[in-house]
Amino acid sequence: MAMANENANANANANGTLTPTPTPTPTLPLPVPFHSDLATRRSPRLCSNSDSNSNSHSEQELGSHCHAKSKHKHKKTKCVSFLIGDPIPDDEARRRWPYRYHNKRQKNGRGNSNLLYDDEDELILDVKCHYSQAEILKCVFDLGDCAYVQGEKGKKNFVGRIIEFFKTMDDEDYFRVQWFYRAEDTVRIESFSNWFGLVIEDEAKSHDKKRLFISDIMNDNPLDCIVSKVKVIRLPATVDLKPKSLSGFDFYYDMKYFVDYTTFSTIIDDTVGLSSADSMKNKASGLRPNFQDFSGHKTHKSNMALLDLYSGCGGMSTGLCLGARLAGVNLVTRWALDINRSACESLRLNHPEAQIRNEPAEDFLNLLREWNKLCNRYVKPNAGGSGTKSSPRIQRRSCSQPHSSKNMNSLNSRDKGKNSPVEYEVAKLVDICYGDPNDTGKRGLHFQVRWAGYSSSEDTWEPIEGLRNCQERVQDFVLKGHRVGILPCPGDVDVICGGPPCQGISGYNRHRNVDNPLDDERNRQIVVFMDIVQFLKPTYVLMENVVDILRLATGHLGKYAISRLVQLKYQSRLGIMAAGCYGLPQFRLRVFLWGAHPDEASWIVQ
């Protein structure tokens, strides 16, 4: 990932001053160290182990074989991999692969790829003819088939889709491959489970071993780099899909991976590597996507609801709402959360219509889960509540009861002459929270109770277990709360934005925990942020943090964040934005992680 003074879109002049260069891309590209070692995906013919002592097929498996090197010709023995059938007519080949027949040798053209590609990984242009089939180990391969391709020494074989077979002027057989990526080949999103402990270990295991990501990276390789055939199908990117229940394939893919900008996106065109003039069937396509299966997703609309996590005074959400309004979308901050009471009061003054919660994010997540259960019980059609008429009266013995609060002192003092226990009537429930508002040492769901005959200053927090006889009051509160939207349920939120605390991450903190960052509760808020996203399933996600999220502990916190979104089947993009490129008089860098539903097709890759 680009560092504070080392980004690919800035040039240094003679006196060392960094001058940002104009770029159409809103985020700065990520350097190689943030990616997996396998993200470069150099041609196997250029790997150090791709020599005469380390061929794709072992001597014991094949006996003698031919290994076509990229620049040297040698005497052929009994070949086990060769092109078969008649060559494709020359005029058709020139129409389908015109770049092969230019008079000048070119580099592998992929735009800004100088960060990830070696100069030796050239596009081979001395092509004699093209073929549509090849035979490897007595198995026939067609264009569009997927195959295991020789990997680096001691590592798994690569997986790729064959898009060309051709013979060079030196009679060497080659194929061109479009690469698939496993999860661990991208940003090592499965390689840090032991470092992060049990929480991250469980998350790493949740990535499906059969899931691949198709890329736009292609290169040329000797034909004998192909190891065997493999069946790869395309499946829709949806949270409801359970690939483990399907069979008949080795791998599946549902998203595209763009290496240069660490982007995972919905597949728009699945024929990138195949010529537009090809009439052949794309055998890797498999099932066609049905993005309407995405749970909780709503169609495009002009009014959208936003939840601001770690909101502070609401700067991020306010900016998003203003920007959305310029785009013709009425984005409104409906809910906000922050642990700082003063920040919440400031936000309430500027956004009086928002439901603002002043509590820890962990308690907020538990509250959302409990609220969803209450809504399922009382709000759903034909929900009958308890099924019996309940009494709004509660017996309380004294203020020493575990669920009583200091406000009950006044209630007890007014009823000293009465026999114990004293019975109080619940007038109504006025608020809800999850936690330990009475400092009893026991956390759980509580309601703020307004007692009949008492003022609001004498409200108390009561655990839900103590309100068993007040089901009608609970139902009234839930129905009204659901109607006005005091809390969101899954599918209610269109946008979640937030900047989890950066104090435990920032390099200005000389006492930050470098060895075990998650021991700092502030750093664990990234996990909580993603848990809330997973529960509410918003259409869009935006997370912001300091650049050191990509440096601390080799960037594992940043890798974890994008890993969670990808695992949840969100389109995702991680990058750095420089404030100076947007008119601010300072070169301030911030990391942004964007997420979007799979059927929000094109915006994330523009």
Q: Which residues are catalytic?
A: 502
Angle at 379 between CA 373 and CA 385, to 5 degrees: 80
What is the rounded CA–CA span in Å between residue 72 and residue 57? 19
What are 464's two structure tokens?
């839900």
Q: 403 by DSSP, 3-state: which? A: coil
Strands (E), 266-354: 303-309, 330-338
What is the rounded CA–CA span in Å between residue 174 and residue 179? 16
With b for 16 or more beta-carbon neighbours within 10 A and e for fewer, the 152-185 pattern comes to: beeeebbbbbbbbbbbbeeebbbbbbbbbbbbbb
Cα dist from 549 to 309, 320, 512, 576, whole Å: 18, 22, 12, 11
Q: What is the DSSP string of 154-175?
A: TSPPEEEEEEEEEEETT--EEE
Q: Of 60, 57, 32, 37, nearest to 47 (Cα)? A: 37
Q: Contact at 8 Å (CB) between 186 and 87? A: no
Residue 150 is which amino acid?
Answer: Q
What is the rounded CA–CA span in Å between residue 459 and residue 88? 84
* β-bridge mates for residue 166, sequence order: 130, 174
Burial of 73 (0-12, 13-18, 19+ CB in 10 A): exposed
Angle at 547 between CA 583 and CA 196, to 5 degrees: 155
Quickly tell me which residue has 């390789």 as its tokens.
221
Residue 537 has a CB neighbour count (10 Å cut-off) of 20
What are 212's two structure tokens?
């691949």
Cα dist from 409 to 78, 110, 330, 448, whole Å: 96, 74, 48, 16
- Quick one: residue 387, left, alpha or beta (phi over 0 = left, psi -120 to 50 = alpha)? left
